[in-house]
Amino acid sequence: MSERIGYFRVSTKDQSIDAQRSALGGQFDKEFKDEGVSGAVLAAERSGFAALLKFVRAGDTVVVYAVDRLGRDSIDVQSTVKGLIDRGVGVEVHGLGKVEGEAGRLILAVLAQIAELEKTKILARCESGRVIARESLAATGKTQHGKASLGRPVAGDAAGVVAWRKENGASIAVTAAHFNLGVSTVKRYASQSAP
């Protein structure tokens, strides 16, 4: 008996697969998902998709919301879909339908190229933002968003925190409370100062 299998992927923890499930109708025999996983990670290396690959069999249909849910690397997307089709597994993309025959593979190849182009554009926008932030930081002491530094802000003086902890024989939790820092921050400072 063939099964209809849903696959969902979201890149960040604040995104939800519910919108994808709703758009696809949600009537699946089995679902697989990868949450907080970038499309830049090869499909077979994602835990949810790897489990899907082990589960599917000839006659099943894998349904995805968009090509970029499979990945943002056109070669990976094409080889993933080809591998499924070669195993007798259908692939259906919302709004595109079932990928079948040479015409379906051609359309999929074009869409995969668009997904890869979007990934490149995202990276370029991020780098452009970092350049603007560095320039603003150098000129004004603040980024364009009013932050005092790039990346993670420095919380406390690492050397001072480590020295105080050592002088007082304090635990990590006591040190964190004393300096109003997170326990993980104090642990990181301690590990950075270890010989």
Gap between the Cα atoms of 54 and 20, Å rounded: 22
What number of residues does the chain have? 195
Q: Which two tokens stand for residue 138?
A: 């150098």
Phi/psi region, residue 117 (left: phi>0; alpha: psi -120 to 50; beta: rest), is alpha
Q: Would you call 11 a catalytic residue per the annotation?
A: yes
Give the torsion through C-alpha atoms of 58, 63, 68, 74, to 10 deg.
20
The residues, any chain, with a CB within 8 Å of residue 134's CB and separated by 6 or more, are 150
Catalytic residue among 2, 11, 79, 136: 11
Distance CA 194, CA 92 (A): 53
Catalytic site positions: 11
